[in-house]
Amino acid sequence: MKRRHLLAASALALGLGAAGAAFADDPLKVGFIYIGPVGDHGWTYTHDQARLEVEAHFGDRVETSFVESVAYGADAERVMTQMALSGVEMIFATSFGYGPDVNAVAGRFPNVAFEHATGYIQEHPNVSLYNARFYEGRAVIGHIAGKMTETNTVGYIASFPIPEVVMGINSAFLHARAVNPDVQFRVVWVYSWYDPAQEAAAAEALIEQGADILMQHTDSTAPVTIAQDRGIYAFGQASDMTAFAPESHLTAILDEWGPYYIARVQEKLDGTWEAGSVWHGIGDGMVGFAPMNEAIPEDVRAEAEAMIEAIAAGEYHPFTGPINRQDGTPWLAEGETAPDGDLLGMGFYVEGMTGSVPN
Amino acid sequence: MIDLSSINPVVLAAALMVAATPILLAAIGELVVEKAGVLNLGVEGMMITGAVTGFAVAVMTRDPYLGLLAAAFGGAAISLLFALLTQVMMANQVASGLALTLFGLGFSALLGQGFVGVSPPRTAKLDFGFLSDLPILGPILFRHDPMVYVSLALVAGVWYFLNYTRGGRILRAVGENHEAAHALGYRVRRVRILAIAFGGACAGLGGAYLSLIRVPQWTEGMTAGAGWIALALVVFSSWRPWRVVLGAYLFGGIIVLQLNLQAAGFRIPVEYLAMSPYLVTILVLVIMSSGRARKTLAAPGSLGRPFHATG
Position A18 confidence tier, pLDDT thresholds 50, 70, 90: very low
Residue A14 has pLDDT above 70, yes or no: no
Which long-range contacts (C-beta less than 8 Å, at least 24 apart) are formed by A79-84? A79/A33, A80/A31, A80/A33, A80/A105, A81/A11, A81/A105, A81/A108, A82/A11, A83/A31, A83/A33, A84/A15, A84/A108, A84/A109, A84/A112
Residue B128 belongs to some domain of the structure: no
Mark out the alpha helices in chain A (DSSP H runs): 2-21, 43-58, 74-85, 99-108, 134-148, 163-179, 196-208, 222-230, 258-270, 298-312, 340-344
Main-chain dihedrals φ then ψ at residue B124, nearest 5 degrees: -75, 150
Residue B234 belongs to some domain of the structure: yes
Residue B306 belongs to some domain of the structure: no
Q: What residues are paired with A131 via a beta bridge?
A: A279
Residue B212 belongs to some domain of the structure: yes
Average pLDDT of chain B is: 88
Residue B142 belongs to some domain of the structure: no
Residue B218 has pLDDT above 70, yes or no: yes
Residue A5 has pLDDT above 50, yes or no: no
Q: What is the pLDDT of residues B10-56, one digit of tens each?
A: 888 888 899 999 999 999 999 999 999 999 999 999 999 999 999 99
| Cβ neighbours around B137 below 10 Å, total | 13
User: Which residues lie below 8 Å from residue B284, measured CB to CB, with a gap of 6+?
Assistant: B231, B232, B235, B236
Q: What is the pLDDT of residues B228-253, one digit of tens each?
A: 999 989 988 889 999 999 989 988 88
Residue B79 confidence (pLDDT):
97
Position A4 confidence tier, pLDDT thresholds 50, 70, 90: very low
| B268 vs B161, residue with greater confidence | B161
Residue B141 belongs to some domain of the structure: no
Q: What is the pLDDT of residues A287-317, one digit of tens each?
A: 999 999 999 999 999 999 999 999 999 999 9
Residue B64 belongs to some domain of the structure: yes
Residue-number span of the structural domain to which B36 is assigned: 4-117+148-296
Q: What is the ipTM of this complex?
A: 0.82
On chain A, the residues whose CB falls within 8 A of the CB of B263 are 155, 186, 188, 202, 205-206, 208-209, 211
Q: State how far the Cα of B81 lies from the Cα of B100, in Å rounded to an integer.
A: 8
On chain B, the residues whose CB falls within 8 A of the CB of A195 are 224-225
All structural domains of chain A, each given as residue ranges with its CATH number in brackets, are 25-132 (3.40.50.2300), 134-254+287-344 (3.40.50.2300)
Residue A20 has pLDDT above 50, yes or no: no
Domain count, chain B: 1
User: Which residues lie below 8 Å from residue A149, measured CB to CB, with a gap of 6+?
Assistant: A176, A180, A183, A212, A213
Position B147 confidence tier, pLDDT thresholds 50, 70, 90: very high
Position A10 confidence tier, pLDDT thresholds 50, 70, 90: very low
Residue B65 has pLDDT above 90, yes or no: yes
Segment B248-277 mean pLDDT: 81
Residue B304 belongs to some domain of the structure: no
| Residue B164 belongs to domain with CATH number | 1.10.3470
Mutation target among B7, B213, B215 for the A interface, most CBs of A within 10 A: B215
Q: Which residues of A lie inside 8 Å of B (Cβ-Cβ)?
A: 36-41, 69, 155, 186-192, 194-198, 200-202, 204-206, 208-209, 211, 220-222, 225-226, 229, 243-244, 354-356, 358-359
